[in-house]
Amino acid sequence: MKSVIKILFLCLAVSEMSCAVQKPVRIVLMPDTQNYAETHPDIFNSQTEWIAAQCDSIAFVLQQGDITNRNAESQWKVAVEAMSRLDGKVPYVMAVGNHDLGLKGRTRNRDSELFNRYFPYDKYARTKNFGGAFEFGKMENVWYTFRTGGVKWLVLSLEFGPRDSVLAWAGAVIDAHSRHKVIINTHAYLYSDDTRMGPGDKWLPESYGIGKDKSSGSVNNGEQMWDKLIGLYSNIVFVFSGHVLNDGTGCLISEGVHGNRVCQMMANYQAGTVGSVNGGNGFLRILDIDAKNGRVVVRSYSPYTDTFRTEPDHQFVVEGLDYKR
């Protein structure tokens, strides 16, 4: 790990992934699926087939955006086919990334018509874990709750480069769930040098077409999201993101204004990241959360190849987290 804060390298056998080994809380992350939607639908399907088969041991699934590569209907159809395997088996949420917005995914505006057509509000609003949305009828900014491992959880999935109004709405949702531990899911937040995205970094949200709107708060990067939302709430525990290339990994532990530790992770396996094959080879991030001991075990596993990535940036333990404050 590039910046280590009580993060330990971990080697674990494939056999531990079995449903027979019950973990306190297991969350699965699906970073940037865009290459699978465009050219490798079999890999996309292998991810969700594996998750569905493991559903008894998985509490929640979070996809970190760039669901598609060109915001094309053909790619949205692939995504729907893959993700629908989870319907009725495990709750899931999907973030919108820059490749999911505007004509051909060029992010010249926040047009998300195809995302909302193929993953409609009416469908997800009927699921038991769904809580609400920033805009009625739209799925870019939504919240869910679930309870497992003796902990009540709130999941907030936020748009690419969230607007100030979205961050204010998210804060109000958190205020209304003060007894829940909070997970923030968004596309662009952490950089590959283990810092929050900010001036000087590549692929900043404000560098895309949506950043041409110079009105106050039109786009927020990772550092701004921390200052305006994430660092202000004592019950936020995790922030998950993707988006960034280079080695496609990042992990940062920061203290909020209330002294709480926030674990912020970035994972991305898509084409363009170091060592990527077949657009990512279907690697998932699997988090086993031990609420009693304040730790999380992180592993990177591909159902498509039935292999782990065992480098320290892909398989590690984070300690010293407070799930009970």
pLDDT at 88: 97
pLDDT at 205: 96
Non-local CB neighbours of 133 within 8 Å, separated by 6+ positions: 121, 125, 139, 141, 142, 143
pLDDT at 272: 79
Q: Where are the domains of the chain?
A: 7-319
pLDDT at 111: 95
Q: How far is CA 148 from CA 22, 53, 126, 180, in A?
A: 12, 19, 21, 11
pLDDT at 22: 37
Backbone phi, then psi, for 33, in 5-degree steps? -95, 10
Give the dihedral sign, CA 177/181/186/189: positive
pLDDT at 294: 94
From CA 319, how far away is CA 290, in angstroms rounded?
Answer: 10
Average pLDDT by stretches of 10, the chain with 325 residues: 48 41 76 97 98 97 98 98 98 98 95 98 97 98 94 97 98 98 98 97 96 84 98 98 96 98 96 83 96 95 97 96 81
Could you say which of 3.40.50.300, 3.10.310.10, 3.60.21.10, 3.40.50.620 is the CATH number of the domain covering 7-319?
3.60.21.10
**Residues composing the chain:** 325
CA 129 to mean position of chain CA atoms: 17
From CA 196, how far away is CA 182, in angstroms rounded?
Answer: 18
pLDDT at 235: 97
